Chain A
Amino acid sequence: MSIATRSLPRTIGAHAILLTYTVIALFPVILVVMNSFKSRAGIFGAPLTPPTPKTFDLIGYTTVIGQGDFFHYFQNSLVVTVGSLFFVLLFGAMAAFALSEYRFRGNTLMGLYLALGIMIPIRLATVAILQLMVASGLVNTLTALILVYTAQGLPLAVFILSEFMKQVSDDLKNAGRIDGLSEYTIFFRLVVPLVRPSMATVAVFTMIPIWNDLWFPLILAPSEETKTVTLGAQLFLGQFVTNWNAILAALSLAILPVLILYVIFSRQLIRGITSGAVK
């Protein structure tokens, strides 16, 4: 690091900006988690104070666990998120490999076509998707959600991953070909490990909107059997009375799994590329 970037005022300035941003970004999350541990009176009386022995109350959590089938909703959300993530990463990486590795007619056009989805929101097609799902009898199944989310996540995955795949050494792939490795082995054993950090990035970007989505679960799979957590939390949102304790508790619980997935992927992010292959 150069001397200039280490000067005291600069360091303080940089930290001040970063801290401010952290506070702003974390504020709503902390507010939700904090208030989920308070009684109803505590929430409305002093929403900004942490729970005190007087206002501390686990009523929200007991309601959530006691009422509704929350564990089941969690399971649904997890199945949908992990399933979609798996297919987005698998197909996204494979398409990216084909686009970056093989010269074929229409390669550029195909790349553009696959990336088009980044610019066109998939929700515009909701009606058509619903008709499709009704026709194929997939309404109220988790499969429907996984299919839609896979389609939603693929464009960005293909776009990002093909850029990274272009950087993987040609020599390494060619060495594999000379040693008689199949294209699949070259892809899974040589290329994928080298682009793992970028795949983790894609995973994080893909996962969070899927976990948080309310739209497609509401339209495609609103049945009790297939409810996701975000949809399940609506249970406590009444027209006349809203059970804030339960909502806040449900939301706090919903943060946990994404947090765990995020920690798993971000460790991949910082681990960096396995060095020593080339140069």
Chain B
Amino acid sequence: MGSLKIENVKKAFGPVEVLKGIDLEVTDGEFVVFVGPSGCGKSTLLRVIAGLEDSTSGRVLIDGTDVSVTPPAKRGIAMVFQTYALYPHLTVRNNMGLGLKQANTPAAEIERRIGIASSMLSLEPYLERRPAELSGGQRQRVAIGRAVVREPKLFLFDEPLSNLDAALRVNTRLEIAQLHRRLKATMIYVTHDQVEAMTLADKIVVLNAGKIEQIGGPMELYNAPANEFVAGFIGSPKMNFIDGARLGETAKTIGVRPEHLTVDPKSGAWKGTVVHAEHLGADTNLYLDCEKAGLITVRIFGVYDAEPGATLYATPEPGKTYRFGADGKVLK
């Protein structure tokens, strides 16, 4: 219960092609995260899955049935929106119950499900309030509760945390992770925050300009990115890309993550000057202007004292560099 299959889905708004042929398979109970830069079509893909937007071509199958012409309410899905989208004129209880009422669920059953969802999300004290009388975090929990009571085959989240402040975001992220463990439901989650992607996902789908760049587990994407785009998108700070020719390599570009570089004041592969240092406590980010490699970022664990202007040598850890060809693909 709750598998999804997308076959060659394309979507164009007038002449602009936003989705350029998406193929994807999600198995039952999986937590899949769509990531990608702003405007790459994540929300559009989610809306196509939800049935809020018709695809120009291609098929969407939920549990093996083609739902291309099924209205959103009949697809067995529930969606949580970035802006919460609660009904302003209804109490929390009625906000959660409306979808079930529309589907002619018996009142006792609606009550039971609201009871379970509200205790799961600690919403019991607020059931009789209107959305205007809740804080942002509470509103988003109500929105999640509204999805939970429908007991859908598929949960769809469109950047549900991006309107919350940092502390609340971490809490709500935990709640969503727990929710997934408890309900064992299939969830599709859109974000452009890669911490959310890495921490929540069983499987990450990296989208760029309407195409899937790579699909894989968080560690798979981190350790074995298929191309330059994925390598640069996953991991923070961003991977350093160095012109291969400057290093005397055959590959077009050499990539090395900031955390896979070590520094030494006396000797090393690339001599450079410290341009700027960011001290974060747990780690230190150094920006080095190197003679051979250009401007690179180095991430050092723990505190490291380095003044701008000081000379340092950076050395990549052996076996932790990536080689990319002219087409951006990784060279084996």
Contacts and interface: CB of A to CB of B under 8 A. Distances in A.
Nearest to B97: A179
Interface in B50-93: 50, 52, 71-74, 77-79, 81-89
Contacts of B102: 179-181
Given A274-B88, A274-B89, A278-B84, A178 B79 contact: yes
A179 B99 contact: yes
Given A277-B88, A278-B85, A177 B72 contact: yes
A169 interface: yes
Interface residues of B, number: 32
Contacts of B84: 171, 277-279
Nearest to B158: A171
Contact of B73 (A180, A276, A279): A180
Contacts of B52: 174, 177-178
A20 interface: no
B18 to A, nearest CB: 14
Given A178-B78, A179-B102, A172 B85 contact: yes
B83 A179 contact: no
Contacts of B107: none
User: Which of A178, A194, A278, A279 counts the most B-chain CB atoms under 10 A from its CB?
Assistant: A178
Given A178-B73, A179-B73, A276 B132 contact: yes
A274 B133 CA distance: 11
A226 B267 CA distance: 102
A113 to B, nearest CB: 21
A171 B50 CA distance: 12
A12 interface: no
B294 to A, nearest CB: 42
Interface string A166-194: 00010110111111110000000110011
B99 A190 contact: no
A180 B73 CA distance: 5
Contacts of B86: 175, 276-278
B73 A190 contact: no
Contacts of B130: 276
Contact of B134 (A174, A175, A178, A276): A276
Contacts of A181: 98, 102
A130 to B, nearest CB: 45
9 contacts: A174-B50, A178-B72, A178-B99, A179-B73, A179-B98, A193-B88, A276-B131, A276-B139, A277-B88
Interface of B: 47, 50, 52, 71-74, 77-79, 81-89, 98-99, 102-103, 130-134, 136, 139, 146, 163
Interface of A: 169, 171-172, 174-181, 189-190, 193-194, 274-279
